[in-house]
Structure 1
Amino acid sequence: MSTEGGTKAVVAALTANLIIAVTKLGAWLLTGASSMLAESIHSFADSGNQVLLLVGGKRAKREATPSHPFGFGRERYIFAFLVSIVLFSIGGLFALYEAYHKYEEIQEGHGNELLDSQWWWVPLAVLGAAIVAEGFSFRTAIVEANKSRGQQSITKFIRSAKAPELPVILLEDFAALIGLVFALFGVGLTLLTRNGIFDVIGTAMIGLLLVGVAITLALETKSLLLGEAATPEAVRRIEAAIADTDGVTGVIHMKTLHLGPEEILVAAKIGVQAQDSAGDVAATIDRAERNIRSVEPMVTALYLEPDIYRADYVPDARPEAPAPAGH
């Protein structure tokens, strides 16, 4: 996925969410509908999340330093993980608290401001407009995702994407649309039945939805933070490039690691002829490096170790840790 595509989707979502958040907050102030307050906080949280993604993308572009020799590409993963925390705590937990608080008020005979308000129609108008705006934002994210996902389903794309921005925006926009439907359900049934409990139910559904999306985001981003290998397609391309190099007898073993969404580290032990001179081996390694970078431009760190290929080769097991001093 291109960085530009992810940034475009983030900016589109940020613009939509800021406008929607303000209108939802105004609707809550006019009517007291808890679904509108929950949705307003949801939109403000989403806006903050998009700012976090933009900040993470900018910080990830910093040049490598002696203390961070592989650069700062993983900053994008860290900020995406922060997004899941914000969505869980500010969005999901607040909505659940607001549902509980509203329920307590109704039990005490209060909390029916929406039914008594002359502005009862405002939440319906705001929710309708918000669905349209979020729909445009979600469409932008889908268009950008379609440029990158190939034949993958959207679900598989979200689970396998190495760049976090588009998957985050896709999930956020999807949650926003479903949340608006829940809010419309709560407000609509409250007005139809004259029973505020439906507003409580809609608010609680929004909270549960946001908690679920936040947990999904956290699990997916955690995997990226721990360090994921290159995609199977990229690994196959790299292995083929090495194997096709003149002077290489085979790939003995290889490991890959994403240092960032568009940065891959490759470490491989490659087979060479036993009779090759040091100069021949060096030339073979140079050819292999050129071949690898030609088929996979995202390889930014590349380490090749020559060895004599043996069919029965098994990589040495990791040595046991030394015993503590004094034992």
Structure 2
Amino acid sequence: MTQTGRAAHFRENIVLYGALLANVGIAVAKFAASALTGSSSMLTEGVHSLVDSGNQLLLLYGQAKAKRPADAAHPFGYGRELYFWAFVVAILIFAVGAGVSVYEGWLHVEQPQPLRDPAVNYIVLGVAFLLEGMSWTIAVRAFGRERGSSSWWKSIRRSKDPAGFIVLFEDSAALVGLIVAAIGVWASHHFGDARLDGIASIAIGLVLGAVAVLLAREAKGLLIGESADRAIIETVWRLLDQRPEITAVNHIRTIHTAPDAVFVAISADFADELLMGRAESLIEEMEIAMKRAIPELTSIYIRPEKREDALVQPRWS
């Protein structure tokens, strides 16, 4: 990869790289603080940051694999491999992040550790909150540019690029976890009960479990295959409606083969008097017009079909 290519790659993935650098540093600091103070919630937070670091590496790996060109075995490319790794990330958050957090918390509730000076914990939590906040701000700004005027939740549900919303979810969960950990450390010392630190660890695990379930649901939809946004489909309809040679559009079906690649299959009723040669050139003209209007359309299939013989699909079904 050239220097220009590396710079472009970094700009495209600044959210992932920012989160990776923050989480690696935070994980080291949390584990050190846990070793010095014996805090269960700090150990849990260290595992959380370590899992998040691995998740960013998996997403970067998935993006690299997804950019491989199409071949005979995968004629539509490897774009959806990113969705597979996004699903793996959700499983890791649930199994490792949430599982270890709840397990460690339960152990410290059952067998409380002697309390030690919490000053180190507070310092590490403060630094971690600052770094996580910076990563979260980068993720929010990047996702905000993509969502436009849509609501946050609607934009997440409609997003076809899991890297952006996964980092957003992870960083949000991390900030909540840091607040819970701080409350657990404070409460355990204030009330003189080390079990409260373990309860905080369990609470962090439950937060991670909820986030993992949400991410798994979104990743599953992408992995199975989701249609393109309504705006893309409407543009295709409009371009077809402008053609007097087409008497009716029977259906338009789309599916994302990558975050920025869409396959569209069209069934249309052509005018009976249209000659075969003209129909072939017309299809070519329509494909050129569609790709010019919608660069995400990487594969277009147009099938001439009589309306009475076709499975007609309502415009917004």
Which interval holds the TM-score relative to the shorter structure?
over 0.9
| In structure 2, distance between residues paired with 1:177 and 1:81 | 22
User: Of the candidates 89, 94, 102, which is equivalent to residue 95 of structure 2?
Assistant: 89
Q: Which runs of 5+ in 2 are unaligned?
A: 1-7
Letter in 1 for 2:148: G
| In structure 2, distance between residues paired with 1:92 and 1:183 | 14
| In structure 2, distance between residues paired with 1:63 and 1:98 | 44
User: Of the candidates 46, 55, 58, which is equivalent to residue 49 of structure 1?
Assistant: 55
User: 1:124-168 deviations in whole A, cap 9, x for unaligned?
Assistant: 110011111100000000110111001112211111100110010
Letter in 1 for 2:200: G
Mapped contact 2:23–2:49 kept (Cα < 8 A):
yes
- The structure that has the greater radius of gyration is 1
Q: Which residue of 2 aligns with 1:170?
A: 168
1:185 counterpart = 2:193: no
CA separation of 1:196 and 1:222: change in aligned 2, threshold 3 A: same
User: Of the candidates 30, 45, 48, which is equivalent to residue 39 of structure 1?
Assistant: 45
User: Which stretches of structure 1, 4 residues or longer, exceed 6 Å deviation after superposition?
Assistant: 2-5
User: 1:210-236 deviations in whole A, cap 9, x for unaligned?
Assistant: 011001100110000110000111110
| In structure 2, distance between residues paired with 1:4 and 1:157 | 24
User: 1:41-76 deviations in whole A, cap 9, x for unaligned?
Assistant: 000000000000000000001011101111100011
Length, aligned pairs only: 306
Aligned-partner SS, 2:111 = helix
Q: Which residue of 1 aligns with 2:143?
A: 145
| In structure 1, distance between residues paired with 2:73 and 2:220 | 23
1:61 counterpart = 2:67: yes
| In structure 1, distance between residues paired with 2:285 and 2:268 | 12
Mapped contact 2:173–2:207 kept (Cα < 8 A):
yes
Aligned-partner SS, 1:64 = coil
What RMSD, in angstroms, separates the aligned Cα atoms of the two structures? 1.7
| In structure 2, distance between residues paired with 1:72 and 1:254 | 23
Aligned-partner SS, 1:72 = coil
Q: Which runs of 5+ in 1 are unaligned?
A: 318-327
Aligned-partner SS, 2:202 = helix
Aligned-partner SS, 2:105 = helix
| In structure 1, distance between residues paired with 2:140 and 2:299 | 32
CA separation of 1:225 and 1:4: change in aligned 2, threshold 3 A: farther
Mapped contact 2:67–2:79 kept (Cα < 8 A):
yes
Aligned-partner SS, 2:298 = strand
Mapped contact 1:245–1:291 kept (Cα < 8 A):
no
TM-score by length of 2: 0.93
Letter in 1 for 2:23: N
Mapped contact 1:246–1:284 kept (Cα < 8 A):
no
Q: Which residue of 2 aligns with 1:156?
A: 154
Mapped contact 1:34–1:102 kept (Cα < 8 A):
yes
Note the C-alpha offset of 1:105. 0.7
Q: Which residue of 2 aligns with 1:315?
A: 311
